[in-house]
Amino acid sequence: MTDQRIFGSPFSARVGMEQDSPLGCLLMVIVPMLLVASTYLAWWELRYFLQGRTALATVDGIQKVENMSSRLPEPHTFHLKVHYSFKDELADRIRSEHFLNVPLSWPHPVGSTFPIQYVPRSPGASRLEGDRHIVPTIFFVVCVIGSVIYGGLLLREARQAVREDEAFESRRPHNLD
């Protein structure tokens, strides 16, 4: 009787093992993509957190603007476009910028001041103080935690595969010719 291992692949014993679903490979693509997307979404929040400064801005003008992006059945929804200026301390100059989509109930008349948060030397990087977008930051933290957990599971499976391979090799007869 012929020993089947002589003619078969060294991995023939593994043929009967359970096959994993392709979910792991799919997650290897999706998890890094989610991490990159969440990093992009949370980038400005991180910049405001690390580099942000506060200043008093002066209202230069207020325009009532029709909301064109509204897909609601109401044909005429409006918001305010607020033009303001403030001093960028690091750039040592006055910046003039504007907010879009300010609610009509916003109480600041022209000439009054209000607090803003801005990123120095970054035109267009200013917002009302306290106008934080916490959801992208939470999404980023969840993606980082998920990536660490997934990486740990992947590492555990890789170590298990190496141990199984070492155990298989130790049981395999070695012919020394």
- Pairwise CA distance, residues 3 & 8, whole Å: 9
What is the model's pLDDT at position 70? 54
Closest CA to 126 of 93, 98, 92, 94: 98
3, 20, 45, 118, 122 from 48: Cα distances, Å? 69, 44, 5, 7, 11
Residue-wise pLDDT for 116-141, tens only, equals 999 998 888 999 888 888 888 888 88
What is the model's pLDDT at position 21? 66
177 or 171, which is more confident: 171
Residue-wise pLDDT for 74-127, tens only, equals 666 888 899 999 999 888 899 999 988 888 888 878 889 999 999 998 888 999
Rg (CA), the chain: 30
Closest CA to 57 of 134, 19, 102, 110: 110
- Pairwise CA distance, residues 163 & 6, whole Å: 23
Residue-wise pLDDT for 5-35, tens only, equals 455 455 555 545 556 667 767 777 887 788 8
- Arithmetic mean of pLDDT over the chain: 81
Buried b (16+ CB within 10 A) or exposed e, 48-62: beeebeebebbbeeb
Residue with tokens 């907010």: 99
pTM over 0.85: no
- Pairwise CA distance, residues 39 & 143, whole Å: 9
In the predicted structure, residue 55 carries a pLDDT above the cut 70 = yes
- Pairwise CA distance, residues 43 & 45, whole Å: 5
At residue 32, what is the residue type? P
- Pairwise CA distance, residues 133 & 74, whole Å: 27
What is the model's pLDDT at position 71? 60
